[in-house]
Amino acid sequence: MSTTATAEAPTTTTSAKLSQLDQLKQFTKVVADTGDFESIGKFKPQDATTNPSLIFAATQKADYGYILDKVIQDRKSAGLTGAAQIEDIIDHVLVAFGREILDIVPGRVSTETDARLSFDVEGSIAKGRHLIELYEGYGVSRDRILIKIASTWEGINAAEILQKEGIHCNLTLLFSLPQAVRCAEAKVQLVSPFVGRIYDWYKAAMKRDYTGAEDPGVKSVTEIYAYYKKFGYATEIMGASFRNTSQIIELAGCDLLTISPELLGKLAESHDPIERKLNPDASKNADIKRLILDEKTFRFLLNEDAMATEKTAEGIRKFSADIVKLEKFIAAKL
């Protein structure tokens, strides 16, 4: 597939005095990929994203342990025991972190469903509805929440139903064009292609490094961006999982980019000029054929892509493992 979307003359920022972070904000909505409130406030992103790994890490810090302790104290009177009690506490912890973040960012926060539901359509739908119900119970509008679900066939089907109910979804653990196309056809709000994890796989498999536009993760997001803009899909694209600032700079112009505090800091410290690389007008002329997907085709194409198959499975395993760690941590406190 040819993606000539970046062939036009790039747009260059007008002021070299701006940091790279401020320059990037001219082209792209910047999102903080963290559960650290201090970092979010420092870099002033539009939105923020969380996942089980980030929330688990945050609960281990003295600065944020009070959130978990308060939820445990508040939920003791809910009348639940065992696994049901722990699940209830985790749901409230996720929402508690989300509420704190929404006091800092002007936009949205992404809250992830349990990764162990990645192949469970009804379970994912129920969890998404429940998280939104909790947020709304605290007076938070559903328009400020993105429910994160893995980009499996089942996860995308669940998101399609939630979207029809006005529950906006962020399809995560996305590593291939077929996943992205199915998400767009399901009219999900946003997709999160994982740039860094794609890069990791190719670096290990090919035993070589990649930089700039040749980076396989950058190429993947560029391809998805061109496809969406070419065929007029409204689904937002948010590049995620970055390993270095070069990957971020190569995707300037993407709808959104979610970036760790470490890399936000590096962008804030640098004043080197950056230019817009992704442009919707250029994408309209890209030489791209439409991909026709049913379940069989989706599963076959995903299976044919060893990287996407392996990284999706690995991501689900890792997020599931961090949920289990959080469960054990809570059980010990109880």
Average pLDDT of span 93-106: 96
Instruction: Please give the structure tokens belonging to residue 105.
Output: 């960012």
pLDDT score, position 16: 55
Average pLDDT of span 91-99: 96
268-304 tens-digit pLDDT: 999 999 999 999 999 988 899 999 999 999 999 999 9
| Token pair 């899909």 in the structure block, residue | 233
How far is residue 250's CA from residue 93's CA, in Å, rounded to a whole number? 35
Position 198 confidence tier, pLDDT thresholds 50, 70, 90: very high
Q: Structurally, what CATH architecture does the domain formed by 20-333 represent?
A: Alpha-Beta Barrel (3.20)
pTM: 0.92
Catalytic: which of 25, 29, 127, 148? 148
148 is catalytic: yes
pLDDT score, position 51: 87
How far is residue 237's CA from residue 222's CA, in Å, rounded to a whole number? 10
Average pLDDT of span 219-239: 97
pLDDT score, position 2: 42
pLDDT surpasses 90 at 9? no
Lowest model confidence (mean pLDDT) among 3-7, 17-21, 170-174, 234-238: 3-7
Instruction: Please give the structure tokens belonging to residue 265.
Output: 């800091």
pLDDT surpasses 80 at 7? no
pLDDT surpasses 70 at 305? yes
Q: Give the closest residue to 184 by CA, choosing from 194, 174, 199, 198.
A: 174
How far is residue 192's CA from residue 150's CA, in Å, rounded to a whole number? 10
Position 62 confidence tier, pLDDT thresholds 50, 70, 90: confident
Position 8 confidence tier, pLDDT thresholds 50, 70, 90: very low
pLDDT surpasses 80 at 108? yes
245-258 tens-digit pLDDT: 999 999 999 999 99
pLDDT surpasses 50 at 185? yes
Position 10 confidence tier, pLDDT thresholds 50, 70, 90: very low
Mean pLDDT, rounded, of the chain:
94
pLDDT surpasses 70 at 6? no
Domain range annotation of the chain: 20-333
pLDDT score, position 67: 94
pLDDT surpasses 90 at 145? yes
Looking at the DSSP bridge assignments, the partners of residue 29 are 256
